[in-house]
Amino acid sequence: QVELVESGGGLVQPGGSLSLSCTASGSIVSISTMAWYRRAPGKERVVVATISPGGRTTYADSVKGRFAISRDNAKNTVYLQMNSLNPEDTAVYYCYAAAVHSSAYSLQNYWGQGTQVTVSS
């Protein structure tokens, strides 16, 4: 089916920045919404940011003004630029895409493997 592979993530100091990327591969017919979710220790997975095929974005209140989601449709890639990071941003970040695979008849949900982001001094 469709595979989402993330890059980026790691350890960053408070106030620092980090960029994540996620590329979809496979026999993709189309990709609709792409998004980033995160799961902090002991917490449920929550949406961080979403982006439509046309570039319309939404953000969780906790990251507004600090994070920016973008996408390159030609590369089937979604990005998350994270600035002014604080320890509360520490979580496993997951890439999400709603996509149509060549063997499917409708949109399906796909998830990346997750990448650890740790904000600590």
pLDDT tens-digit series, residues 74-83: 999 999 999 9
State the sign of the Cα–Cα–Cα–Cα dihedral 30, 54, 116, 91: negative
- What's the pLDDT at 44? 97
Please give the pLDDT value at position 71. 98
CA 96 to chain centroid: 6
Average pLDDT over residues 63-68: 98
Contact 96, 43 (CB under 8 A): no
Give residue-wise pLDDT tens across range 11-58.
999 999 999 999 999 999 999 999 999 999 999 999 999 999 999 999
List C-alpha distances in Å: 63 to 43, 73, 81, 107.
Answer: 17, 24, 11, 28
pLDDT at 60 over 90: yes
Q: What is the mean pLDDT of the chain?
A: 97
In the predicted model, is pLDDT for residue 66 greater than 90? yes
Indicate whether 105 pLDDT > 90. no
Partners of 37 in beta bridges: 47, 94
Q: Which residues contact 70 (CB under 8 A, 6 or more apart)?
A: 51, 55, 78, 79, 81
Query: Quick one: tokens of 37?
Result: 């979710």
Residue 1 pLDDT: 86
HEC-encoded secondary structure of 37-83: EEECCCCCCEEEEEECCCCCEEECHHHCCCEEEEEEHHHCEEEEEEC
